Amino acid sequence: MARSLVDSGWELSCEDADYPNNLRDLESPPSRIYGMGDPKALSGKCLAVVGARRATPYGLAAAAMAGRIAAESGVTVVSGGAMGCDVAAARSALDAGGRTIVVSGVGADQVYPKSSRDVYERAVRQGGAVVSLMPWGAQPQVWAFPKRNVIIAALSSAIVVSEAGQRSGTSSTAMAGIDLGREVYAIPGSIFSPESRGSNNLIRDGATIISSEEDLETLVSREFGVLRLVREEVATPRNRILSALVASPMRAADLADRMGDEPLEMLRKLSEYEVAGMVTRLPDGRYAPTKEMLLGQDRIEP
């Protein structure tokens, strides 16, 4: 049984009844795991949702969609609690009334990164858990995160990759899942986007492609034998400019050339869309639709 510690913390060894059976699929299951929250959450229906830390709005929207679908299907979302796609999926699941498991790269009584504090706290409060291979109080160590990624894959029956670069922790989690015989689902991105190269390569190498919300809903239903409780049809406002940016983020000059418009006029339009919350300017100068616009939460007509 889990042993109660201060602040509801617990430790599980391989001999404990609550030790998750999925971890026994590993060649060398961890001899001890540390956690906060409900240890039984680790043995329930779990779907990993992982993606880039420096995610684009597209990647964040895809992760949030996956988290919401899992929650509405009664499936627990597993992630690393990192900035970007991890927290987007976890927050979306929690907001939909679901639960999440954070597999941390630091001690289970610590928060890393600090910006994810709300996810860590809500994971415990809403019936999920924060778990770690690291002892109490452990601080970030580079070598701990690849091991964390393997645990994310092992705890989950399937893995959704929302966005991943060529070489990334997300890709390593997906590869660990493949090695364990887990189903891997990948959301495609633009072939011109470096942020989508890893996820596109996974699809090329055999991962199941997620081409729509209905695709993911069907796959979750088949994998876990559940029905989604809620479905909302959302009409997202679009025009030629926004449709082009959904396909691939672009700089104002490139978009003007594509649309046959004057660069200054295009920059004016993009500025209006940015003020309206429909597009955002990425650090490299390209424009992309915001996460809210992609999820249909922004009803302002362009």
Rounded to an integer, the average pLDDT of 158-187 is 92
Q: How many domains does the chain have?
A: 2
Structural domain includes residue 230 = no
Based on the fold, state whether residues 51 and 133 are members of the same structural domain. Answer: yes
Based on the fold, state whether residues 219 and 90 are members of the same structural domain. Answer: yes
Rounded to an integer, the average pLDDT of 15-23 is 93
Based on the fold, state whether residues 171 and 285 are members of the same structural domain. Answer: no
Domain, as residue range, for 170: 7-224
pLDDT band at 64 (very low <50, low <70, confident <90, very high): very high
Among 196, 224, 252, where does a domain finish? 224
Based on the fold, state whether residues 139 and 270 are members of the same structural domain. Answer: no
Based on the fold, state whether residues 269 and 122 are members of the same structural domain. Answer: no
For 20-49, write each residue's pLDDT tens digit: 999 999 999 999 999 999 999 999 999 999
Structural domain includes residue 233 = no
Based on the fold, state whether residues 70 and 219 are members of the same structural domain. Answer: yes
Q: CATH code at 23?
A: 3.40.50.450
Q: Which residues lie closer than 8 Å to 157 by C-beta, 6 or more apart?
A: 22, 45, 46, 47, 182, 183, 223, 224
pTM of the model: 0.78
Structural domain includes residue 25 = yes
Structural domain includes residue 50 = yes
Q: CATH code at 254?
A: 1.10.10.10
Based on the fold, state whether residues 70 and 199 are members of the same structural domain. Answer: yes
Q: Which residues lie closer than 8 Å to 287 by C-beta, 6 or more apart?
A: 245, 249, 250, 251, 252, 255, 270, 274, 279, 280, 281
Rounded to an integer, the average pLDDT of 268-294 is 87
What interhelical angle do 213-224 and 57-72 show, nearest 10? 40
